[in-house]
Structure 1
Amino acid sequence: MTTVAECLPLARKACDYLTASPDPYHAVNNAATKLRVAGFECLQARKPFAGKMRPGGKYYYTQDDTAIVAFTIGTQLDVDRPYGFKIIAGHTDSPNLRVKPRSKRTSAGECVQLAVECYGGGLWHTWFDRDLDERAAFRVNKEDHLQPIIGTKSVLEEEAKEQLQDGWTEFQEPELLSLISAELGVEAKCIVDFDLCLFDMQPAAIAGIKSEFVHSGRLDNLATCFVSVEALLTHAESSLAGDTDISIVILFDHEEVGSGSTTGACSPIMSEAVRRISSALSPKSTEDFHSAILRQSFCLSIDMAHALHPNYSNKHEKGHAPELNKGIVIKTNRNQRYATSLISDHILREVARRESLTPPQAFVVRNDCGCGSTIGPTLAQNTGIRTVDAGMPQLSMHSCRETMGTMDLMNGLQLFLAFFNHFREVDNQLSEGYCCDIEQR
């Protein structure tokens, strides 16, 4: 059994990634950097993929800087026979405060404030009295009570430079533009627009008497982003030679607000990736060939799960209350708020069993509570690919600062690697057994 001490190196790497990734832009850029350093080739998504890839290759590309697709092609993949895509899907966004297009806000008294918009379903009361910074590529009354203070009028006016009046900058807080221009090393007049996300400046940290917890903002869902990329990197280094399929990680944006964007799970990113990659490898492939590939594929939709809180244990269904440091959670909802099915649940559990890993926990929401959702059902209905919704357990989801178990980072990494390594054999045996059972009946 893995110990906390054995999990600490991975947890420290996760903390570094979390601290360095305050928004989707940085999350994707940092993931791309890790892939590039590991020898993954960057593809230009605006150009054809034909002739750009081969079995044994490692590739990635991005979509609008906030979504990323990374994949490896098994050395033993036969391009003339249907193969499968082993998919891990997650999302790069988290609830936060975002600066409005017109950042200047008229404030009473001495304080100078920024106009911000609430993004996603955050626990907004946890954002009070925090040291906030901004990064980008930038029942509380959310309109009146969540506007952050950036300074005082007397000091800012004393040091303020002449403001440009060009139709855009006149609606921006001058000191905000000065801050951005200084950070970028350009004049304020060179800034044409921004997308700024506010975040808590406190870095991610390992805590607990035995270092059994990780505290950070954006665990939902950057912990998944980190672990899934680490799993793909490890798989590429150790298991690519014997792989007969394609292992792929897809990280979407805008899950927290419904996924309905060019970078969200409602977009054609995943179905397009499968089609473009398979067509590039097999230029003569037909629609029937592509459909066979979809039927041989499988998706792990990974999003953080609500762990049992000792102070609110009545919020969980008895028998379906995941605990920290006890392994990945499989989420089920018969009303299809989660995409998990009988078959997809079994496949993930069997993958874990073959590596003697911590068995996945089970989560079902109480009958008297509403059930959340994630990208799994959207991906399943858009592609027809079998999907299981799962995730690492955490406390304080959507808080400005969240908590998860140190060991669950390793539990996630081990399970994702087992999925890449054992899915094909599990699926083949399951398909053979199912066909035999039908024939006997």
Structure 2
Amino acid sequence: MERKLAWEDYSKEDMTKVYEFAEGYRKFISECKTERECVTEFVARAEKAGFLNLADAIKTGKTLRAGDRVYVNNMGKWLAMFVVGNENLENGMNILGAHIDSPRMDIKQNPLYEDTGLAMLDTHYYGGIKKYQWVTLPLALHGVIAKKDGTTVKVSIGDKPEDPVFGVSDLLIHLSGEQMEKKGAKVIEGENLDLLIGSIPLPSDDEKEKEQAKDAVKANVLRILEETYGVCEEDFLSAEIEIVPAGAARDYGFDRSMIMGYGHDDRVCAYPSFEAILNMDKPERTSVCLLVDKEEIGSVGATGMQSRCFENAVAEVLNLTGTYSELSLRRALQNSKVVSSDVSAAFDPNFPSVMDKKNAAYFGKGIVFNKYTGSRGKAGSNDANAEYMSQMRKIMDNNHVFFQTAELGKVDQGGGGTIAYILANYGMQVIDSGVPVLNMHAPWEIINKADLYEAYKGYIAFLKEA
């Protein structure tokens, strides 16, 4: 079944809206390259839009009524936003759930060392990556360093024009005969993804001191860190510093119809989900935007979807509406409907053999619905009910949203998962729906602006009508 390109249907006014929305998103992913930075930005914007911190509402004993807006910020890396609806919360919620973590490299807890006059940072990669894609690129450092005195130092270096950048070196082609014979998974080993960060030894006026100095280049880096951030080497033990591609997201193609950037998976779905909930004003059913961490490593931990943070947040909201009971909480969760807002693999003409063309996602044809994900025999999948898929089709068509359906590649080729199956554990109706992406999990991914805009329209339609 052939789906029409959204671009073919757009008026000049539509085109303006598409490009304006995409520009806002391009700036967002250029500035927010970690889950912490995403939450900080979203919270600031949410408060301007009238959202109240749920913790403050609990302290003051505020009663929540239809139209009230609250948010929960969990450890600065997980965010849930609620717009209370006219219906009793026990009847369920309409939930947009996306993740805001992306594949990257993290520095280890004892990362700093010197080798042959070069200062290096030892790393551990995060999420599913092709390791060879991360060498010879300009890289930036983003994150926090928590000091023993209770203060937290923010680190962001490599993205301003005046900043230095960092990188992982690769073997020169002249000496890479053995390397080129290796399989792709072994061309670059995980322990070889160490970051080069300096080469000047600590200055000294004493010649004897210079000769006796051990790891003088490392010492000079530590001096710079102390002068710039007020931290010492031991502070790395309580640091969360992520290594990400340096530079802003850019318009892609002569027609500027696409965006190349880091972290489209899954911020390209998180951003329109956030924008969609800002449009909710006294919805019939309570609207929720849920943005979580750790999806790329199994949704584990206190800020992952497998934690009970969302369940606890719903319980608190129920309590402030005066309707809490354990049974009401169970009903509110089970009666909810969810769009698991996550990306899909776009068809790539360079690699057609891994895709089933009849069931692939294409650039420019709108938001993608994946009835099921998983791998091979649908392992690890949430498989949405036919009735729920039918409802989504009707909502999209009624609101003139361009949509398409897809699977993640040919049946035996591989696969992947999302947070959908975790929410489905509550008995919710859940389906995956998001934006198709080229180069998924690479340092620089590509999306189509039309698909981004149609996702935004589709998410608004879902929150209002599901």
- Once the two structures are overlaid, the 10-residue window that deviates more, 300-309 or 5-14, is 5-14
Is the 1:332–1:364 contact (alpha carbons within 8 Å) kept by the matching residues of 2? no
User: Once the 2 structures are TM-superposed, how far is the Cα of residue 364 of structure 1 from its aligned partner?
Assistant: 5.0
Cα gap change, 1:127 to 1:38, in 2 (>3 Å): same
Aligned-pair RMSD on alpha carbons?
Answer: 2.6
The SS at the match of 1:344 is helix
* 1:207 to 2:267 alignment: no
Cα distance in 2 between the residues matched to 1:311 and 1:67: 36
Separation of aligned partners in 1, 2:228 and 2:48? 26
CA change 1:187–1:307 in 2 (3 A) is: closer
Counting only pairs closer than 5 Å after superposition, residues 32-181 of structure 1 correspond to structure 2 as: 32-44=43-55, 51-74=62-85, 76-78=86-88, 82-107=90-115, 109-137=116-144, 139=185, 140-152=187-199, 155-158=200-203, 174=219, 177-178=222-223, 180-181=225-226
**Cα displacement (A) at 1:339:** 4.0
1:291 Cα deviation after fit: 3.4
C-alpha displacement of 1:173: 5.2
- Structure 1 residue corresponding to 2:261, chosen from 202, 206, 216: 216
- Residue identity matched to 2:73: T
Distance 1:189 1:47 in 2: 40
Q: Is 1:195 aligned to 2:206, yes or no? A: no
Cα offsets for 1:222-241 (capped at 9, x unmatched): 11121111111122xxxx14
1:44 deviates by 1.9
Partners of 1:38 and 1:219 lie apart in 2 by: 25
Q: Please tell me the residue identity of whatever aligns with 2:24.
A: K
Alignment of 1:172-321 (within 5 A): 174=219, 177-178=222-223, 180-181=225-226, 184=229, 186=230, 188=232, 191=235, 193-235=238-280, 240-241=281-282, 243-283=283-323, 285-321=324-360
Alpha-carbon deviation of 1:49?
8.5
Distance 2:383 2:224 in 1: 45
Question: 1:376: how far off?
Answer: 0.6
Within 5 Å, which residues of 2 pair with 1:342-421?
A: 342-363=386-407, 365-381=409-425, 383-421=426-464
Contact 1:327 1:408 in 2 (8 A): yes
Question: What CA distance in whole angstroms lies between the structure 1 residues aligned with 2:302 and 2:308?
Answer: 8
Residues 39 and 268 of structure 1, relative CA distance in 2, 3 Å threshold = same
Alpha-carbon distance in structure 2 between the residues aligned to 1:120 and 1:335: 19
Which residue matches 2:150? none
| Cα offsets for 1:320-367 (capped at 9, x unmatched) | 111112111111335452343323322222211111211333225422
Gaps of 5+ in 2: 1-8, 145-154, 156-184, 206-214, 373-377
Partner of 1:426: none
What's the TM-score, normalizing by structure 1?
0.84
CA-CA distance at 1:148 after TM superposition:
1.1
Count of aligned residue pairs for this structure pair? 399
- 2:31 alignment counterpart: 20
The alpha-carbon distance between structure 1 residues 101 and 416, as it changes in their structure 2 partners (threshold 3 A), is same
Q: 1:173-210 CA deviation, whole Å, 9 max, x = no partner?
A: 555555555555x4648957211001111201112121
Distance 1:419 1:49 in 2: 32
Sequence identity percentage: 21
- Corresponding residue to 2:384 among 330, 340, 358: 340
With over 3 angstroms needed to count, the CA separation of the structure-2 counterparts of 1:363 and 1:122, relative to structure 1, is same
The residue number in structure 2 matching 1:164 is none
Whether the aligned pair in 1 keeps the contact of 2:202 and 2:220 (CA below 8 Å) is: no
Q: State the SS of the aligned residue for 2:416.
A: coil
Letter matched to residue 277 of structure 2:
L
**Contact 2:58/2:320 (8 A) holds in 1:** no
Amino acid at match of 2:134: W
Q: Would you say the 8 A contact 2:382–2:430 is kept in 1?
A: no
Task: Note closer, same or farther for the CA distance 1:375–1:45 as it changes in structure 2 (3 Å cut).
Answer: farther
Q: Deviations over 1:84-129 (max 9, x none)?
A: 211011111111111100012342x332211111111112222111
- Change beyond 3 A, Cα 1:125–1:217: same
Q: CA contact under 8 A between 1:114 and 1:149: conserved in structure 2?
A: yes
Verify the 8 A CA contact 1:224 1:302 in the aligned structure 2. Answer: yes
Could you tell me which amino acid in structure 2 is paired with residue 331 of structure 1?
Answer: N
State the one-letter code of the partner of 1:42.
N
Unpaired runs of at least 5, structure 1? 161-169, 424-441
Contact 1:330 1:361 in 2 (8 A): yes
Supply the AA of the counterpart residue of 1:417: I
Q: Kindly provide the amino acid, as one letter, of the partner of residue 422 in structure 2.
A: T
Q: Distance in 2 between matches of 1:159 and 1:195?
A: 32
TM score, norm. by length of structure 2: 0.79
Aligned partner of 2:310: which letter?
Answer: M
Contact 1:227–1:412 at 8 Å: present in 2 too? yes
> Corresponding residue for 1:166?
none
> How far apart are the structure 2 equivalents of 1:385 and 1:206?
38
Using a 3 Å threshold, how does the CA distance of structure 1 residues 219 and 278 change in structure 2: closer, same or farther? Answer: same
Indicate if the aligned counterparts of 2:202 and 2:219 stay in contact, CA closer than 8 A: no
Tell me: CA distance 1:149–1:364, structure 2 relative to 1, closer, same or farther (3 Å).
closer
Bigger shift: 35-44 or 207-216?
Answer: 35-44
> 1:252: Cα distance to partner?
0.9
CA distance in 2, matches of 1:336, 1:147: 33
Q: Within 2, Cα distance between the matches of 1:117 and 1:246?
A: 40
Shift of the alpha carbon at 1:256?
Answer: 0.6
- Distance (whole Å) between structure 1 residues aligned to residue 294 and residue 83 of structure 2: 25
Map of 1:431 onto structure 2: none
1:122-176 per-residue CA deviation (whole Å, 9 max, x = no partner) reads 1222211112111113623434421111121xx242389xxxxxxxxx9x95555
